[in-house]
Every structure is written in structure tokens, then in C-alpha cells.
């Protein structure tokens, strides 16, 4: 039987119903949302189980105070967060990165990883309909500060092959024209001037490149842009 606290938070005794409630804010309501829902359910299981011990094993430690930001509707069906979600790590952002950077650097020293900076991918290469690598241009070195537009001068080309290719290119917030192109009709005419809170390289370029290679892109009209009140004087 549900407890009063469960009823207040909208949580049911049935794990399936409870998880359905926790996913309420996501708004999975389109046929193409099938795989995002599977991912979300798998992550909820991970977050409610082994995630904390796994992060601790990587060397991450949390400040023992949490904040309940963006509470929204105060219950699990949203909108908003049904549980405290603002967790501060010791060392903040650099503290989150450090254990993972350490592992990457160790793998690079052993020859397991090769880091190729200033390599701009222009195409995913296919063999028999399967993505087997990438090709593109090597850009000239740039001294631009982090997050600002850097020089696009091409000095050479490259091609790499791999057993598997993972695209992790970020969103489209750095390209206002692309944002306008995918602006949802329900919001009317997109603004002529936009503020961007992301670096210039978050331009959505790899989305179109991946689509040419056969990737299935969904929900392009569902964008998340934090509203800012002033022109950002520095990109980072």
C-alpha cells in the first residue's frame, strides 16, 4: 500500500508505475521516442543503483549537501525534479574531469589512445553500408581562447579507420541559423537575434554529416536553450 509520503510525491508501490512517473517530465510521446525511453530507463536503474559506488571508485567525492533546484510541480510526474538533483563534487568541474583525464592520459602513454586535435571530420566513411571510419581536414594551429571561434585554415587531410565509430559532437546552440531552421512552428517566428551560452564549436555540423551516412535524427524541433538576460561578454 502507498504511504502518505509516496502519495504526496506521486510514487507508487509498483516499480514499473513509479518509473513511469519519474519519466513524466521527459515527455516521451512520439514513436521516435522508443530508444530514448529505453536509454532513460536504463540510466534510472544505474543512477539508483551502482552509480555512486562506481563514481567513488573513479575517485569522485561529493560535498555532503544537495540542492533541490528546479523543483517544478513538486511531484514525480513533473514538470521539474522530483528529487534533489544539484550535487556538488569536491573540486567542482575540474574535480569531475580529473579521474577520467587521468585514465585517458594513462591509456595514451600506453599507446591505447591517440588524441588528434584540430582534425575536422567532414564525412563518415562506409564499407558495405557500415561506418568504418572518418575523413576530413587538418586545421592550422590556433591560439584562440577556449570557446571562441578558431581559424579554419586547412593545411592537410586525414582519414582514420576503426572497428567502431562514436559521434559525440554536442548540440546546435552555437549556430543561430541552424537553431532558426529547426525552430518549432508552435513558438512562432524565431528571433532575429539570439544569445548563445555555448562555445562556437557547438554548431551541429556532425549531425548533418552523420545523417548523410545513414544516422536517424529525431526531435530536431525539441531544443533546450537556457535563457540568458545579457549578452555574454566571454564565451566561457
pLDDT, tens only, 201-236: 889 999 999 999 999 999 999 988 776 556 666 666
Q: What span, in angstroms and rounded, lies between the C-alpha atoms of 34 and 50?
A: 24
Residue 161 lies in a domain: no
Residue 113 lies in a domain: no
Residue 45 lies in a domain: yes
Residue 16 lies in a domain: yes
Q: What span, in angstroms and rounded, lies between the C-alpha atoms of 53 and 60?
A: 10
Pick 127 or 174 by higher pLDDT: 127
Q: What pLDDT score was predicted for residue 229? A: 56
pLDDT, tens only, 38-49: 999 999 899 889
Q: Which helix (H) or strand (E) holds 32?
A: none
Q: Which helix (H) or strand (E) holds 68?
A: none
Query: What cell does 128 get?
Result: 558495405
Nearest residue to 207 via CA among 104, 92, 121: 121
Q: What span, in angstroms and rounded, lies between the C-alpha atoms of 114 and 69?
A: 39
Q: How many domains does the chain have?
A: 1
Residue 75 lies in a domain: yes
Mean pLDDT of 34-41: 92
List Cβ neighbours of 32 (8 Å cut-off, separation of 6 or more): 216, 218, 219
List Cβ neighbours of 131 (8 Å cut-off, separation of 6 or more): 124, 125, 165, 213, 214
pLDDT of 118 > 80? The answer is yes
Q: What pLDDT score was predicted for residue 113? A: 94
How much is the mean pLDDT over the chain? 84
Q: Which domain holds residue 54?
A: 4-97
Amino acid at each position: 500500500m502507498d504511504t502518505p509520503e509516496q502519495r504526496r510525491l506521486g510514487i507508487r508501490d509498483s516499480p514499473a508505475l513509479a518509473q513511469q512517473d519519474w519519466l513524466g517530465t521527459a515527455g516521451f510521446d512520439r514513436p521516435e521516442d522508443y530508444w530514448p525511453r529505453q536509454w532513460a530507463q536504463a540510466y534510472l536503474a544505474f543512477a539508483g543503483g551502482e552509480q555512486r559506488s562506481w563514481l567513488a571508485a573513479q575517485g569522485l567525492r561529493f560535498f555532503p549537501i544537495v540542492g533541490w533546484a528546479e523543483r517544478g510541480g513538486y511531484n514525480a510526474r513533473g514538470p521539474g525534479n522530483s528529487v534533489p538533483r544539484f550535487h556538488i563534487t569536491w573540486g567542482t568541474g575540474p574535480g569531475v574531469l580529473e579521474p577520467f583525464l587521468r585514465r585517458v592520459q594513462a591509456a595514451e602513454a600506453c599507446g591505447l589512445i591517440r588524441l588528434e586535435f584540430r582534425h575536422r571530420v567532414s564525412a563518415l566513411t562506409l564499407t558495405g553500408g557500415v561506418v568504418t571510419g572518418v575523413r576530413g581536414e587538418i586545421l592550422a594551429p590556433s591560439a584562440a581562447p577556449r570557446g571562441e571561434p578558431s581559424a579554419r585554415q586547412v593545411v592537410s587531410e586525414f582519414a582514420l579507420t576503426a572497428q567502431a565509430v562514436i559521434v559525440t559532437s554536442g548540440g546546435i546552440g552555437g549556430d543561430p541559423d541552424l537553431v532558426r531552421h529547426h525552430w518549432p512552428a508552435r513558438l512562432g517566428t524565431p528571433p532575429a537575434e539570439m544569445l548563445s551560452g555555448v562555445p562556437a564549436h557547438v554548431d551541429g555540423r556532425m549531425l548533418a554529416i552523420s545523417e548523410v551516412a545513414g544516422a536517424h535524427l529525431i526531435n530536431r524541433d525539441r531544443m533546450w536553450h537556457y535563457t540568458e538576460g545579457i549578452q555574454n561578454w566571454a564565451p566561457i
